[in-house]
Structure 1
Amino acid sequence: MFNSVLAVMARALMAFIFISAGYSKIEGFSGTEAYMAAMGVNPSFLPAVIALELGGGLALLFGWQTRLTAAGLAGFCVISGLLFHGNGEQANQILLMKNLAMAGGLLAFVRTGAGAPALDRH
């Protein structure tokens, strides 16, 4: 029972940042497009980013395709961290380290899977 609670908590805590980030990008769509453009990233990627964050966050939360989802989100964390926070400023260094730490946590899901209960468990 304890392991089941831990599995759900781990997935929920990791998923929350992606779900909330995806939702906030929908709410602030034009501002996010402008920010992406200012950072040299093509804003046409924004719908894909939203889909990855929302879809990946929900898939992780419910434990569906957990290993694949976690691998994709880990790669996203590294790439977005380097693109948006890799400029060497102290505040951005902290955000980059946060992204790298999240990637490390996600890699643990790649190794172990969702745990139970999850949609991955039939």
Structure 2
Amino acid sequence: MNSIRYCDFGALRPLLLLIARIAIVALFIIFGYPKILGFSGTVQYMASSGAPMPTLAAIIAVIMEVPAAILIILGFFTRPLAVLFIFYTLGTAVIGHHYWNMSGDAVVPNMINFYKNVSIAGAFLLLAIVGPGSISIDRR
């Protein structure tokens, strides 16, 4: 009987999972930090984008994009946070990048960003399934 062999990366697996956690949330931290510094502008942006309850949406965005992302890097509450990030990322895709309601030059960049968010949600799904690896607070 043929068995399919795969590479489990052996001793590199914990380090690769740490690198993957950092890569998955880097974008959130990079764009979340300015949301904290310019919180009133973040609320105004949420209102202009049609987000429900713009102040609450801005608070959720800041919490998810900075402290929750840092917790993912640290590997603390990784699986539950990864599940929250799935919903957060898909929600921001639908609310912020609704390309199906757009026309002209706005369609393509919003379509790209919509599917980028879907891809990131897929990465969080994988993280929720495999866990953070041994280089994490969860495993200590």
Q: TM-score, normalised by structure 1?
A: 0.93
For 1:10, the equivalent position in structure 2 comes to 20
State the percentage of identical aligned residues.
Answer: 30
For 1:91, the equivalent position in structure 2 comes to 109
Asked if 1:43 is matched to 2:54, the reply is yes
| Structure 2 Cα separation of the partners of residues 44 and 35 of structure 1 | 10
Q: TM-score, normalised by structure 2?
A: 0.82
- Higher helix proportion (structure 1 or 2): 1
Deviation, 1:95, is: 0.2
Whether the aligned pair in 2 keeps the contact of 1:18 and 1:56 (CA below 8 Å) is no
Paired positions, count: 122
Whether the aligned pair in 2 keeps the contact of 1:114 and 1:120 (CA below 8 Å) is yes
For 2:71, the equivalent position in structure 1 comes to 59
| Structure 1 Cα separation of the partners of residues 71 and 27 of structure 2 | 13
| Structure 2 Cα separation of the partners of residues 113 and 92 of structure 1 | 31
| Structure 2 Cα separation of the partners of residues 86 and 27 of structure 1 | 27
Deviation, 1:29, is: 2.1
User: Which residue identity lines up with residue 44 of structure 1 in the other structure?
Assistant: T
| Structure 2 Cα separation of the partners of residues 28 and 91 of structure 1 | 24
Stretches of structure 2 that go unaligned for 5 or more consecutive residues are 1-10, 101-106
From the CA coordinates, give the structure whose radius of gyration is larger.
2
